[in-house]
Structure 1
Amino acid sequence: MQTASFSGLIKAIFYMIAFYYIFRFLAKLFLPVLVKKVVDKAGENFQRQQQQYTQQQQNNSWQKTRTNDEVIIDTANAKKPRETKKVGDYVDYEEID
């Protein structure tokens, strides 16, 4: 069984601080590169999706045939005004002196 010593504690704290600063240094070097790659990849995916969407729209517009469109307006509901649901009664309160 090992016992804790003051020199072991100092070593552990030193290693933690060294790891922290090394990690910060490497993050400053590599994080911008990684973020740039992720943003570029997202931009490429967006461009690809936009191109596919525009191609679908163009294909759909060429494939559509002229049809006789009819518009039917239901006037039965237009004559009746919409009724609102009554949730509860309104109570007017007055102050009493």
Structure 2
Amino acid sequence: MQTASFTGFIRIVFYILAFYYIFKFLAKLFLPLIVKKVVQKAGENFQQQQQRSQGSSWDNTQAKDEVIYDTKNNKNPRETKKVGEYVDYEEID
């Protein structure tokens, strides 16, 4: 059975600290590049989805060759939900 020595403990603490600072340094260098690539890729995917959805809706309207006008007049606006009653309070001196 081996016993732990003080020098072995110091060596392990040194390795842990060295690994931490090296990882921190490399993260500062490479993490912004990785995040930039991920955001750029997400933007490209978003643009492709938008183009596909606009293209398919445009193809649907082109295929029908008809124009739809919305002539419905909304004279009655949506009623807001009424919650309780309005009570006017007066201040008494």
Q: For the superposition of Structure 1 and Structure 2, which TM-score range results when normalised by the shorter chain?
A: 0.5 to 0.7
The letter for the 1-side match of 2:64 is: K
Q: Could you tell me which residue of structure 2 aligns to residue 43 of structure 1?
A: 43
Q: Give the structure-1-normalised TM-score.
A: 0.65
> Following TM superposition, where does structure 1 have runs of at least 4 consecutive aligned residues deviating by more than 4 angstroms?
none
2:55 aligned with 1:31: no
1:64: Cα distance to partner? 2.2
Flag structure 2 segments of 5+ consecutive residues without an equivalent. Answer: 67-93
- In the alignment of these two chains, the number of paired residues is 66
Task: State, as a whole percentage, how many aligned pairs show the same letter.
Answer: 62
Flag structure 1 segments of 5+ consecutive residues without an equivalent. Answer: 67-97
Q: Could you tell me which residue of structure 2 aligns to residue 3 of structure 1?
A: 3
1:63: Cα distance to partner? 1.7
Q: Could you tell me which residue of structure 1 aligns to residue 72 of structure 2?
A: none
**DSSP-derived class of the 1:45 partner:** helix
Q: Could you tell me which residue of structure 2 aligns to residue 19 of structure 1?
A: 19
1:2: Cα distance to partner? 1.9
Distance of 2:63 and 2:3 partners within structure 1: 82
